[in-house]
Amino acid sequence: MSPYDPQSIERRWQAVWAEESTWEVANPGQPGFDAAKPKAYVLEMLPYPSGEPHVGHLKCYAVGDAIAHFRRRHGFEVIHPMGYDSFGLPAENNAIKTGEPPRVATERSIESFRRQFREWGVSIDWARELATHTPEYYRWTQWIFLQLFEKGLAYRTEAPVQWCPKDATVLANEQVVDGRCERCGTEVIQRSLEQWFFRITEYADRLLADFEQLESWPEHVITMQRNWIGRSEGAEVVFRCSEEEVGLDFPVFTTRPDTLFGATFFVLAPEHPELMRLVEGTPAEAEVREYVNRIGRESASERGAEDREKTGVPLGRSVVNPVNGDEIPMFVADYVLMEYGTGAIMAVPAHDSRDYEFAQAFGLPLRRVIEGEDAEAARDSEGLPYPGDGPMTGSGRFDGKGNRDAYEEIVAWLAAEGRGDSAVNFRLRDWLVSRQRYWGAPIPVVYCEGCGEGGAPAIVPVPAEQLPVELPEIEDYAPQGKSPLAAAEGWVATECPRCGGPARRETDTMDTFVDSSWYFLRYLDSRNGEAAWGREAVDHWFPVDQYIGGVEHAILHLMYARFFTKALADLDLLGAQEPFANLFAQGMITRDGAKMSKSRGNTVSPAEYVERYGADSARTYVCFMGPPERGGDWTDEGVEGVNRFLSRLWRLCEEVEGRTAPSAVPDLGEPAARELMAKAHWAIEKVTRDFQRGFQFNTAIAAVMELVNDAYRLKDGLYAELRTGAAVRFATATAASLIFPFAPHLGAEVYERLRGERVWEQPWPVADPELLASDTVTLIVQVNGKLRDRVEAPSEAAEEELLALAKASEKVSKHLEGKDLVKEIVVPGKLVNLVVR
């Protein structure tokens, strides 16, 4: 008997799958396309190729591959492609440090990922492979940009933006975490720059509403996106700064129009565009200017600090409260944010904690307009600020009404007067997509003086037939506040496609999240040189039936991809509104309880384990560690345990092959054989159910382990007879069949040896209900809910019979003596509970 040698088994099957292109599927209209088969699009998030794959990748693709195999064997035509998200900052930063062109490092890394995915035995349709940094791909990224531009969904404007001084680039709001750059951790500063945006805010309502259309997404991912979009309902109300002063209208957004009568002052954000106009030439000007400059120099995290004192400067101006005509003083203060609402607020210190703090600091009056539960206390300023509900007070004709009712009436009244209206506000900002970096897809527009008007050059899109706008080779990748592309003079200077005159290329590139917002469409027709995709292919395969990836992309990538899908559907380029019907968010693997990082030195290299124990052990282990949606701590002992199980299956196979006949039919008359057969069918049932109920792979694998353990325990007694030995062969082949989605190489090997067939071509086994049902049941007999005895009973027995058997037990009757039987509960085939007093 030879020992389990994963290396040779795995090499053998990988060669078969590569030679036979086993996992390639045809598109509609292509030879080999089977229209009768239902389709399943199984997709894992594409990797960012940097260095070598890590355990997170192993887990993601192990989970995804198990699902793909499971669906295939349920009769689905499974499309399971792979690609690389190969543009991005790390490759470029590496280039700045080492001088090695990003393309070279990236392609080396892709080669390593590709090789390892093959070594892991992942069932990928390699004919569809793509990389986002190739001109064949980014040509279409640029084409999509132009489609959005034509629709007005891509636009260029000057805006205050988040700027990372270290990476010398603008960041999307989503890439700023705690006021720091998500990538390098440097504190972000605010700058005002001309930038390209995608109008994702136009889709805010649909992005919220269409959660309904999703089949199965983790609740917390939906919640995170919902929080991020941050829809709030309220009213926009106009406060006017009188003609005698400056004659300007200041709209504010409020979620509490019911507190309008309580507004005692008014605050503008330091970035508010009308701010300087209000104080120009007044005594307040110098102080306001100094305040604004000081705030401008502060970082986002300083400004957002938790226990920050309220600061501000009075403007010496006032606005009129439209509900009561009161003149209230204006301030500038940094607790008001320009990015949210209108950058101006009405301050109601009696009912808002932030306004309250500011009022305390500046000695401003409070005005209570909603009584709390305790009307007595409401007379003085006890319990303020009060955020709750109650009857109105100090609000003219609304006094005495509930504040919720007053809310509606006040909004209606303002609308009738033309001083306000109900309004909805979102936290979501438009998506800033331009980056002043080299390693990305160039934005396909040129600036033409000749076509421009009034001195400003015109933005002229590059015509689709001239795409791609290829990224030029450059020598210096270091950013100098503008894109390194700006230095490639020969590339920047071009011809205007509209007038033929001299023009200059846009030197910014696109955020890599743009590349990954549509790759799942390109897979469906990745060799198409005429279009981004053929409509027939997309209509057949799209949307993705099962998407798998880390939670770290719960907001950014997933929301951008949803936005793209909707925008492309609106352009009639595809038929679906949502890209991912089902989402599975895998948990993170840690080592020694901590996140893996190079600096901590606790990284796990999958290649090392694949070499030592085989890909099957490594893959099965990451699925067995715990529920895959949760994280887990990697231990070497754990991998060894799984390896032990697989080699036990291997030894069982070797033994069974030599000691049983392939054609023998298991004898169900022999109790041990029957027990083992029943166990095999129980395992089929269990694994199938665990798959269907949210990919509970840990328990599915445990069931196969149990089956193998039982086969091991019973085998020696069964080999004696040909017909009973057949049960061991059956159990072993079944175990191979069930473990195949996790350990495909060994699964295929064992199955082929015992059955002479390729396991992936076999339908998923179905449990025989007759074998699952047993002749006898073990009756659990309880007295007053406490376990007293276990009694064997025929499974067909009637209720009275079961009761009689239960009472006949010696242990039970002991507890019944001298007591009244109050109630008898019989759960058929399971349990008898006798209630006594």
Partner RNA sequence: GCCGGAGUGGCGGAAUUGGCAUACGCGAUCGACUCAAAAUCGAUUGCCUUUACAGGCAUGUGGGUUCAAAUCCCACCUCCGGCACCA
Stretch 427-446 residues interacting with RNA (CB under 7 A): 427
Cα–Cα nearest to 324, from 404, 371, 394: 394
Mark residues 710-749: x for contact with RNA by CB under 7 A, - for none.
Answer: --xx------------------------------------
Interface with RNA, residue 227, by CB under 7 A: yes
Interface with RNA, residue 835, by CB under 7 A: yes
Rg, Å, the chain Cα set: 34
Among 215, 476, 633, 800, binds RNA (CB under 7 A): 633
Q: How far apart are CA 817 and CA 40, in angstroms?
A: 63
Peptide bond before 468: cis, by omega within 30 degrees of 0?
A: yes
Give the interface size with RNA as a residue count (CB under 7 A): 83
Q: Binders of RNA among 235-264, rule CB under 7 A?
A: 252-256
Q: Binders of RNA among 86-125, rule CB under 7 A?
A: none
* Part in contact with RNA (CB under 7 A); list of ranges 286-294, 529-537, 578-586, 629-637: 629-637
345 and 425 Cβ atoms separated by less than 8 Å = no
Among 14, 27, 162, 425, binds RNA (CB under 7 A): 425
DSSP collapsed to 3 states, 36-86: CCCEEEEEECCCCCCCCCCHHHHHHHHHHHHHHHHHHCCCCEEECCCEECC
Q: How far apart are CA 197 and CA 172, in angstroms?
A: 10
Comparison of 445 and 781: residue with beta carbon closer to RNA: 781
The least CB distance from residue 269 to RNA, in Å, is 6
- Look up residue 669 and give its two tokens: 């008359």
**Amino acid identity at 593:** G
Interface with RNA, residue 339, by CB under 7 A: yes
DSSP states along 426-462: ES---EE-EES-SSSPBP-EEEEEEEEETTEEEEEEP
Among 243, 637, 792, 820, binds RNA (CB under 7 A): 637
* Part in contact with RNA (CB under 7 A); list of ranges 120-128, 219-227, 516-524, 717-725: 219-227
Comparison of 178 and 476: residue with beta carbon closer to RNA: 178
Comparison of 343 and 479: residue with beta carbon closer to RNA: 343
- Look up residue 141 and give its two tokens: 């990224």
* Part in contact with RNA (CB under 7 A); list of ranges 199-207, 276-284, 634-642, 756-764: 634-642
Among 6, 47, 341, 420, binds RNA (CB under 7 A): 341
Which CA distances in Å does 745 have to 81, 120, 614, 749?
20, 9, 10, 6
Q: How far apart are CA 683 and CA 732, in angstroms?
A: 12
Among 104, 608, 825, 828, binds RNA (CB under 7 A): 825
Peptide bond before 666: cis, by omega within 30 degrees of 0?
A: no
Comparison of 128 and 788: residue with beta carbon closer to RNA: 788
Angle between helices 671-692 and 697-718 in degrees, nearest 10: 170
Interface with RNA, residue 297, by CB under 7 A: no
Overall size of the chain counted in residues:
837
Among 135, 251, 450, 641, binds RNA (CB under 7 A): 641
248 sits in which H/E element: strand 248-254
Among 54, 638, 719, 755, binds RNA (CB under 7 A): 638
The least CB distance from residue 561 to RNA, in Å, is 18
121 and 11 Cβ atoms separated by less than 8 Å = no
618 and 609 Cβ atoms separated by less than 8 Å = yes
Interface with RNA, residue 829, by CB under 7 A: no
Q: Binders of RNA among 166-185, rule CB under 7 A?
A: 177
* Part in contact with RNA (CB under 7 A); list of ranges 335-343, 396-404, 572-580, 662-670: 335-343
Alpha carbon 286 to its chain's center:
48
Comparison of 43 and 646: residue with beta carbon closer to RNA: 646
Among 159, 168, 664, 780, binds RNA (CB under 7 A): 780
Q: How far apart are CA 172 and CA 156, in angstroms?
A: 14
Interface with RNA, residue 234, by CB under 7 A: yes
Interface with RNA, residue 232, by CB under 7 A: yes
Interface with RNA, residue 395, by CB under 7 A: no
Comparison of 269 and 467: residue with beta carbon closer to RNA: 269
Interface with RNA, residue 795, by CB under 7 A: no
613 sits in which H/E element: helix 606-613
Question: What is the DSSP secondary structure assignment for residue 216, as one 8-state letter?
Answer: B
798 and 779 Cβ atoms separated by less than 8 Å = no
Comparison of 135 and 304: residue with beta carbon closer to RNA: 304
Interface with RNA, residue 12, by CB under 7 A: no
First-to-final CA distance of the chain = 64
Pairing of strands 265-268, 327-333: parallel
Comparison of 527 and 693: residue with beta carbon closer to RNA: 693
**Amino acid identity at 70:** F
Comparison of 303 and 498: residue with beta carbon closer to RNA: 303
Determine the Cα angle at 218 with ends 214 and 222, to 5°. Answer: 70
| DSSP-assigned beta bridge partners for residue 391 | 402
128 and 526 Cβ atoms separated by less than 8 Å = yes
Mark residues 553-592: x for contact with RNA by CB under 7 A, - for none.
Answer: --x-------------------------------------
* Part in contact with RNA (CB under 7 A); list of ranges 39-47, 203-211, 228-236, 474-482: 228-236
Peptide bond before 479: cis, by omega within 30 degrees of 0?
A: no
Among 9, 269, 711, 733, binds RNA (CB under 7 A): 269
Q: Binders of RNA among 355-374, rule CB under 7 A?
A: 357
Among 44, 258, 271, 352, binds RNA (CB under 7 A): 352
Interface with RNA, residue 769, by CB under 7 A: no
Among 86, 434, 696, 724, binds RNA (CB under 7 A): 696
586 and 60 Cβ atoms separated by less than 8 Å = yes
Among 189, 626, 659, 723, binds RNA (CB under 7 A): 626
Task: Give the three-state DSSP class for 183.
Answer: coil
Interface with RNA, residue 159, by CB under 7 A: no
Mark residues 647-686: x for contact with RNA by CB under 7 A, - for none.
Answer: xx--------------------------------------
Among 261, 782, 793, 812, binds RNA (CB under 7 A): 782
638 sits in which H/E element: helix 636-659
The least CB distance from residue 450 to RNA, in Å, is 42
Comparison of 108 and 308: residue with beta carbon closer to RNA: 308
Pairing of strands 130-131, 83-84: parallel
787 sits in which H/E element: strand 786-794
* Part in contact with RNA (CB under 7 A); list of ranges 9-17, 92-100, 706-714, 759-767: 706-714
Among 318, 422, 528, 699, binds RNA (CB under 7 A): 699
DSSP states along 319-348: EE-TTT--EEEEEEETTS-TTSTTSEEEE-
Angle between helices 615-624 and 697-718 in degrees, nearest 10: 120
Interface with RNA, residue 345, by CB under 7 A: yes
The least CB distance from residue 280 to RNA, in Å, is 23
